[in-house]
Amino acid sequence: MKRRRDHLENGGTFTRRGVLSACAALAVAPAWGGTARRIELICAPSSLGLRPPHGDHEPGAWRAPAALRKAGLERALGAAGVVELEHPRYIAGADAGTRIRNGHAIREFSLRLAATVRSSIERGAFPLVVGGDCGVLLGGLQGSRLAGGRGLVHVDGHSDFSHPGNYDTSSRLGSVAGMDLALATGRGEDLLTRWPGIEGPLVGDADAVQIGEREENDPDFYKDILQTEITRWPVRKVLKTGVRATADAVIARLAARKLERVWLHVDLDVLDEKVMPAVDSPGNPGLTFGQLSELIRTLLDSRRIVGAEVAIYDPELDLHAKFAGPIVNALASAFGAA
């Protein structure tokens, strides 16, 4: 059966609670140039891009920022500050004027998140967005673009390339968590593909790299991505080639495209379900925590990554918080001081 996130099936309002905590800043190796990098956590507690697991129940991914902070994420990263966005209202059903669930709320949330990310980058910090579902990519990437960035590395167990060209929008609603790469490259409704201050898509096909797709041999896989200029590293190829060699090849691609301020998207379902099942669409094969940390760390060492987001951990699928600690440790190893 096809994964839940890509089953295509609306909005809410919120206010920003701009809390910059008094955590002491920790200087770490720069990711994109300069002499120091300060990590700012941006909590984006949204499940707007996911379909309900049952009835009208909101998926629990919105709880991830609080759960990971409780497990010590700020301290582990030496975060210089925290910005919290308020949890937006989730509606399971249709949203007037769009065939995307929570479409209008996602646009509003993305605009607020983009402004926060842009501000963080322009202050000289390294924004690390903690979602929430991976629809937060739209706000993170938009903020990066507004701050002068270009390019995307999309680390995800799925290519998230569902769009109106490969499914019937009249028969079911779209869920952004299975559409985020398609939307980012300009495929889909104007509501979530056209953004103020940005001409064209958030990222051009040739400036996007997808790492980790595990379902390329599934008959339901959206094969039209194969006809694009998006660089692809399916997970089986990554495991065969090796994580370091894969990262080096991706960095070479970024250099060839002259991409020096790139946004990094990390969906934790790229991890193998044997080590991390607390996501909405677990599967295998996938990476280990150590392999994911090595991949991110190597990309950061290139100094081409301007900011990142981590998404899709669902504490409601981890009732004893078994996986919060390993996630924190992996992120600290990836993003923290060398």
pLDDT > 70: what percent of the chain?
Answer: 88
The answer to pTM > 0.85 is yes
Most distant CA atoms of the chain, gap in Å: 53
pLDDT at residue 186, as a whole number: 98
Count CB neighbours of 117 within 10 A: 33
Domains belonging to the chain, first-starting first, are 4-335 (3.40.800.10)
pLDDT > 90: what percent of the chain?
Answer: 86
Which amino acid does the sequence have at 186? G
Cα–Cα distance, 151 to 204 (Å, whole number) = 8
Neighbouring residues of 131: CB distance < 8 A, sequence distance ≥ 6: 44, 45, 46, 61, 64, 65, 309, 310, 311, 312
**Buried b vs exposed e over 152-181: b needs ≥16 C-beta within 10 Å?**
bbbbbbbbbbbbbeebebeeebbbbbbbbb
**Tokens 């949204």 label which residue?**
46
pLDDT in tens, 82-133: 999 999 999 999 999 999 999 999 999 999 999 999 999 999 999 999 999 9
Report how far apart, in Å, the C-alpha atoms of 60 and of each of 310, 311, 330 are.
Answer: 15, 12, 21
pLDDT in tens, 291-327: 999 999 999 999 999 999 999 999 999 999 999 999 9
* 245 touches 290 (CB < 8 A): no
pLDDT at residue 218, as a whole number: 87
pLDDT at residue 2, as a whole number: 31
Does the pLDDT at position 283 exceed 70? yes
Q: What stretches of 59-124 adopt beta strand conformation (E)?
A: 81-85
pLDDT in tens, 162-175: 999 999 999 999 99
Tokens of residue 323, six digits: 């996986």
pLDDT at residue 11, as a whole number: 30
pLDDT in tens, 149-164: 999 999 999 999 999 9
pLDDT-derived band at 37, boundaries 50, 70, 90: low
